[in-house]
Structures are given as C-alpha cells and as structure tokens.
Amino acid sequence: MSSAAVAAGFPAIIKARDAGPTLRILGTHATLQEPIRQQAERDLGFRIELLPGGSSQVLLQASTEPDSFDVYEQWSDSMRLLWQAGTIQPIDVSRLRYWDEVNRLSKTGRITEEAPIGAGDPPNTILYVQPDGALGPTPQAQISYLPYVHNVDAFGYNSRVIPEAEPYVGESWGWLLDPAYAGRVALVNAPSIGIFDLALAARARGLIDFADLGAMTAEEVDELFKIAIAYKLDGQFRSFWRSIPHSAELMISDDVCLESMFSPGALMVRAAGVPCVYAAPREGYRAWFGVMCLSRSCTDERQEAAYAFMNWWLSGWAGAYMARQGYYIFNAERSRPFLGADEWGYWYAGQPAQRALPGTDGRIVVKPGEVRHGGSYVERWSHVAVWNTVMPTYDLSVRRWSELVLA
C-alpha cells in the first residue's frame, strides 16, 4: 500500500499544508525516529517537530510543562503521574478512526481469555476515564491515552557463550544472578523497569518472594536491594546501561554475555554479527505498552493535527515500521499490507523466515529459517509475568536503585 493511499485518508489536514501548525511530539528515541517523522509529514501534510529525550527527562517535562508539547509518546508507567499532574487531557474515542480495530489486549488486559493478565498495571486498568475522573477498566467514551506500540521484554544472551535454550523451559530470569556469569551481566539503568528484572531474577533463584510482584511493599523492596547490592559488591554486574545503543555495544564488544535488553537492542547486536538470543523466560515476560497522550494545552488547529497524527499511527505504515524493530501495534491487521508476507509470518505469526529479513535500517537481523524466539504474537503475549508499573513504593525504589548503581 502506498503512502499516497494513507494520505488520502486525511483530506482536511492535507489542505492545511502551508497554513497548519507545527505539531510538537515529546517522547523517547524508541518511537521519535526521523523516518517516522518524514513519512508522517508526507502523509499528513503538516510539519512535525520531534522533541526526544531520556525517559526521566521527558516525563518531568510532560508533567510540569504542558505548554511545551502537543503530543506525548512514552511508556505506560508514566500514566498515573501524568494524569494526577493534570497535564494531559482526555481523548475522545469518537475521533479515533481505527478504535474498533484496537485488539482486546489493550481493552481487557489479556490477549485471550485463557492468558494470564500479569501483575502490575495491565493497559485496561488505566485506559478509560471514569465518570468521577479517575482511570479504570470500565469502557467509556473517553480514554487517557491512545494504545499503539507494545512488546514483551526479557534479557538477551550471546549464544556463543551461553548455549541457546528452549523457550519457556530452559531460559530463566535467574540467569542474571547466576555466579557463572559474574562480571558479564548488565542491567537497564531505569528504576521503574530494572526493579522488576531484579525481582524476577531473585525470585527465580529462590532468594525472595513477593505477596504481589506488581505492588511490592517497602519491606520487600528493601530486602530485594539488600540482595542486589550484595551481588553487585561480589562483582556480578558489569554495567548499567541507559540507552538501547549502549546495551547493544556492551554485547558487541564482548563486555557482557547476558543483559536486560529491549528488542531493538538485541536486533542491533544481531545485525553486527553477534548471535544474540532474546529470551523467552519460563517465569514470563516483563510487558509494556506505549501511551500517546494529548497535552491539556493542545487545542483548536493543533488538536486537529494531533488527532490526525494519532489516527496516522494506527493507519498501517508506522505499525509495519515498528514490526521491523520487534515491536507490535495494537491493530496489527492494518499494518499487514505494509509488510511482506514473509515479514508478517516471522514477526507476528511465529513462522520460519523465508528469506533474510532487514531491520528498520536495512541491515539483516533475521536469517532464513529462523523463528522468532518465543513464537507468535499470541503465544508471546500469553506469558506475561508483570507489566511495567510505577508502584506506591516508587520513591523508595529510586533511592535504593541509586545505592545499587553506586555500590
């Protein structure tokens, strides 16, 4: 399907090519990528300015400076803070062209009736704006965010060092704390994410358990970091990475053989010729979903452009682009015509690759015959252990995380 076909779906905006506003998008580099901006401008006909930054930086800006952006793109664990800060406005479902196509995962919290929902904040629990202004799972005419990109996260490992294991059977989060890999393990340097990687690892090794993994008590947080700091002092961790390229470089340079990873990082490593396996842990994944929000200051022409941009994200091209870096879109069938049949088979259907498949930068990331580790979209989303969540003990976990990194 051509970009012209997509553009034809937005005639009111196309007419405003020269007179329309510049839409300001605040978020992280994961979705604020130049090829996406260029394609959106071509299809929509108005100017788009990207304002990328680190996760903590853009969250602070979004929660304190609503006049500085129109659309905010980030992760689900930012939603409660933004909503409580009052810097984002409700989104009218009636203005979302593809809302009926958005799948049940975002609307019910599970991909099938049999799939586990997972601990923490599943997407439906913070999606709908309830009559009292709170966020909740009961369907309403307004939502707090547009569901778009999402994925299940795990860890990556170099199969030259650690033999590739069977998905959901042999691979375990406990490997992160296995003394056999001491000095060659890295963790993501993000308190609200890394704490779950540590928790899953410590629980897998029988070092601690939690009454509710998605809502740890202060005592549980303290005990978890007591364990983690002891491992750090014993030399378990080589590094704490802050960016996807940094995580990739750690494995490409052979500094680490095992680390918390995001899908694009694992693909960068594979593109560089290192056999990085993106694990399917037997304990389940740490899941996340992207949130696209409207600034409370976004009105009139800017608001019209913002809704057009949100609709564009679900119109097909962007979902296909994100598939090539391992991410999913909540209305995948709309993106299917923008992917080759072999690409769809690998990224979504769990089928062997019929040919070498490129990533977003054109470099080969999948070899012929390979199957996506963990299987199909439905299979992978049937193994969720916990969702990225800002817990009530977040402030404590941030302090303890700093102690871990500096120990």
| Helix orientation angle between 34-44 and 300-313, rounded to the nearest 10 degrees | 110
Rounded Cα–Cα distance for residues 217 and 222 (Å): 9
Distance between CA 210 and CA 190 in Å, rounded? 21
> Could you say which residues of the chain have pLDDT below 50?
1-17
Judged by DSSP in three states, 221 sits in: helix
pLDDT of residue 292: 98
Query: What are the two backbone dihedrals, phi and then psi, of residue 293, each rounded to the nearest 5 degrees?
Result: -120, 160
DSSP E strands: which ranges in 251-332? Answer: 258-261, 276-278, 285-295, 328-329
> d(Cα 313, Cα 149) in Å, to the nearest integer?
9
- pLDDT given at position 11: 39
For the chain, the helix, strand and coil percentages under 3-state DSSP, each to the nearest 5: 40, 20, 40
Q: How far does Cα 117 stand from its chain's mean position? A: 17
On whether the CB atoms of residues 320 and 105 are closer than 8 A, the answer is no
Q: pLDDT digit string (tens) for 250-272?
A: 999 999 999 999 999 999 999 99
Q: What are the pLDDT digits (tens) for 328-364?
A: 999 999 999 999 999 999 999 999 999 999 999 999 9
At 19 the pLDDT is 55
Closest CA to 324 of 294, 353, 301: 353
Element (H, E) at 310: helix 300-313
- DSSP-based three-state secondary structure for 304: helix
Taking the C-alpha atoms of residue 247 and residue 234, their distance in angstroms, rounded to an integer, is: 22
Beta bridge partners of 253: none
**Which two tokens mark 17?**
């090519």
Q: Which two tokens stand for residue 24?
A: 């300001």
Residue with tokens 């923490």: 120
